[in-house]
Structure 1
């Protein structure tokens, strides 16, 4: 007797049913025919380390008959629910977890010699709970909009002004070594960019790297890191290159980059692949600064890149990031490092401010 022919659509349905059923049976640990809150938390943690709070929310949405647990039909509906299959949400989550690595579970030995997962009750919740769009991460967007608006104003009002730094906003905001008494220029030069590429690169980096950091550590911390980098950049440039004008947000951008390094250092044991991310950031920073210095002093190329601002911004971002960004599982060594970073930053900034005040002859070159 010939086998009964099965339609392709029925094969797909059967395979899908078997797939869903295998997942359901895997997490129905007590074979009760239901997935309860505890089992749902195990399922969610096995796949993405989502918090207990989110697991409860998933249960609340999926438990349509309100019996406090999920049966097989409800489970299938949950997996097919568009709320849990958002393509944007999925890839945004992957991107954030790459830029700001997720917490890695730690394994410890129990008294009977078996391995068990150690969890931490942190003051601000688990590391994964920190990814939040409420309040929205608007700081980097707001700064980028202002920088773009200043560039657009100069581009519209005067031909080639954005290439020479002679536009109306540039004249007001740019760091001018001959007008050092106008102290706001040590910060506002970040709003002026020379050329399209200068603007696009800075905006792109600060949005791609700053927004994920802002979603974890909140906007005000990232703003302080950013402004610390910008200010350190102008102070350092005025000392090392006193005749140079300064424009662009590179000091703040480099501070954001090294702030990632700071949070990796302070949360090393709680992160996945911290060494890889650390190497990537260090490679970019060291390559850029080294190239600018080599071009200027070894090849005698007139390089307009303010390497001093880049380097100072990077140092400021690292030091400020260590003592202002969240440390989710503090240790004694990290506490010592926190105080070290704070003291070194205050000494460096204080020294640069003092030199800018007293070294008047140095700035008359």
Structure 2
């Protein structure tokens, strides 16, 4: 496969790209995605694998090999960054890799004359975040958790007796203000639910939001879930000290704001980040926040646990979820959130201990 080009135009194009840090960053991101072993070079196998993963149609190996060989100027069977720039900006190659180019490279190279190359920025967001969505063997945390919750519910239901409305699993795992010294209950309440109407809506939300997060952030999502449940339970134990708590609502409400956190921290790497921010922002404002302000904790629903989970999801989401391209300002936000998280957790732990002792004495 021959890809003729004007040497002067090619040199000018590479000079213009390298002179603009923002443009260079986009091309370097694409190069790094292709360079799997991070040795600074792209082999034929790496280019082949990259094309298979990111293009809708499979190209014959001989086509990929011909492209690779054509731009391997020094014959070392590897493409360095400069050779890669020539390849990805060659008109014939971009027709083949049109999906890759449109996804990663948000700058169009046009040539009004033979001697001039103009770079025109057309889009601001890269879509790199969506390219991290992968379904791997470990992307099953939320499914396993949901299966355990379903199993515990029906086993507990089958073990209930006429004398007791609560089964043995619920009695052992639920949070109760009369056994606050059994600290595992601050987390294990996520495994028990009061009814199918309580269980299945929770499962639907945590799977709907949790699995896409897990596909990018892997094990960190389960940490967010558990931390949200713990934070929600601590808030519940302090604000509503005489009330029991079951269910994982604090955990999946943490997903709302964890998603907000990852949108904020990966703003430039996401497609349509403003839409996602507005969507999850509305869900956060009109569900846990609005319901707590209006409903308080009347009835069987602990809105304060929901609210506690949303706060933890935002603060901890910034800290432990993946940030694909960190900036200095984001680093400052990271430190603010981690300090705020530990301060709030410390305050609520101390308050819970004090309230527990007060209730015991009274």
Equivalences, count: 281
Cross-structure match for 1:139: 141
1:113 positional shift: 5.5
Q: Which residue in 2 is equivalent to 1:358? A: 354
Is 1:310 aligned to residue 292 of structure 2?
Answer: no
Deviation of the 1:140 alpha carbon: 0.5
Q: After the TM superposition, list the runs of 4 or more consecutive aligned residues in structure 1 that deviate by more than 6 angstroms.
A: 28-31, 108-112, 117-121
Contact 1:103 1:128 in 2 (8 A): no
Give the counterpart of 1:327 among 323, 328, 338.
323
**CA distance, structure 2, for counterparts of residue 315 and residue 200 of structure 1:** 24
Within-5 A mapping of 1:91-102: none
- In the other structure, the counterpart of 1:281 is 280
Matching residue of 2:254:
255
Counterpart for residue 155 of structure 2: 153
Is 2:188 aligned against 1:192?
no
Deviation at 1:288, TM superposition (A): 2.0
Aligned partner of 1:179 in structure 2 is: 179
**Shift in Å at residue 283 of structure 1?**
1.6
- State the distance in 2 between where 1:67 and 1:334 align: 39
Q: Distance in 2 between matches of 1:160 and 1:108?
A: 72
Measure how far apart 1:108 and its partner are. Answer: 9.7
Deviation at 1:65, TM superposition (A): 5.5
Structure 2: give runs of 5+ residues left out of the alignment.
6-29, 35-46, 68-101, 111-115
Are residues 1:242 and 2:241 paired? yes
Secondary structure of 1:114's counterpart equals strand
Question: SS at the partner of 2:326?
Answer: coil
For 2:255 and 2:179, locate their aligned partners in 1 and report how far apart those are by CA, in whole Å: 28
* Cα distance, 1:328–1:165 mapped onto 2, change above 3 Å: farther
Distance 2:122 2:326 in 1: 19
SS of alignment partner, residue 65 of structure 2? coil
- Give the one of 58, 63, 83 matched to 2:60: 63
Q: Distance in 1 between matches of 2:295 and 2:228?
A: 23
1:134-182 Cα offsets, whole Å, 9 max, x none, are 2331110111111111111122222699xx9611110000001001111
| Deviation (angstroms), 1:107 | 4.8
Distance 1:109 1:336, change over 3 A: farther
Indicate if the aligned counterparts of 2:104 and 2:128 stay in contact, CA closer than 8 A: no
Q: Is the 1:104–1:270 Cα contact (8 Å) retained in structure 2?
A: no
Deviations 1:276-331 (A, max 9, x none): 2112112222222223542347xxxx421111110010000110000111111111
CA distance in 1, matches of 2:209, 2:134: 15
Task: Report deviation, 1:271.
Answer: 1.7
CA–CA separation in structure 2 for the residues paired with 1:156 and 1:170: 12
User: Which moved further from structure 2: 349-358 or 49-58?
Assistant: 49-58
* Structure 1 residue 227, shift from structure 2 partner: 0.9
Rate the CA distance shift 1:231–1:269 in 2: closer, same or farther, 3 A: same
Secondary structure of 2:138 counterpart: coil
- Please give the alpha-carbon distance, in whole angstroms, between the structure 1 residues aligned to 2:103 and 2:118: 25
**What is the alpha-carbon distance in structure 1 between the residues aligned to residue 234 and residue 200 of structure 2?**
24
Q: Among 111, 115, 121, which residue is 2:120 paired with?
A: 115
Q: Does structure 1 retain, via aligned residues, the 8 Å contact 2:232–2:309? A: yes
